[in-house]
Amino acid sequence: MRRPRRVIKRRTDQLLVGLGAVLVVVIGWGAATLARDPDVVLFYREGCHDCEKMDEILVPLQQTHLNLVVLRLEETANLDLLWSLSSAYGILPTAFPVIFVGDQAIVGVGREKELRLRTAVTECMVQGCPSPLSLLEQPKVPWTLILIAALAVIVFLVVVL
């Protein structure tokens, strides 16, 4: 017993629509994940063994927290960003790796730094935290404009009085 062509075509169309919807959801989820600001920004140096040690801490954390977004940047190619973030966090990057997560800046390696990284990432995933890059996006006070305006007011007052 054969099915009419209309029934087969309708089922094929339904299957294609379903697969298309799944594809749209998967692509949308992937794009949203890629578009998210990172939770962790890690600066490393090529050939740095300490950087590899801290990365060995981050990889299992990423497997535990599937929503964790880590941005790994080689320091020589991203020196301006490294210094901008270091300035925003009030640190001096004296060793590598340099890791920014939540309100924490972690420089170098060691047991205490590994614990700080684990704690900061876990807190960030449980409670939420802003991306380290969001510190750079905050509106800056236009001090130059304010000083020029104040100087203009003073000159105006001196001339008028």
Domain range summary for the chain, segments of one domain joined by +: 38-137
Q: Can you identify the CATH homologous superfamily of domain 38-137?
A: Glutaredoxin (3.40.30.10)
Residue the block writes with tokens 């270091």: 86
Tens digits of per-residue pLDDT, 77-109? 899 999 999 999 999 999 999 999 999 999 999
**DSSP letter at 141?**
P
48-to-10, 45, 109, 135 alpha-carbon distances in Å: 59, 5, 11, 27
Please name the residue that has the structure tokens 């390696």. Answer: 109
Element (H, E) at 69: none
Confidence of residue 16 (pLDDT cuts 50, 70, 90): very low
What is the pTM for the complete model shown?
0.63
Q: What pLDDT digit, counting tens, does each position of 32-53 carry?
A: 344 467 899 999 999 999 999 9
pLDDT at 54: 92
Look-up of token digits 């794009």: 31
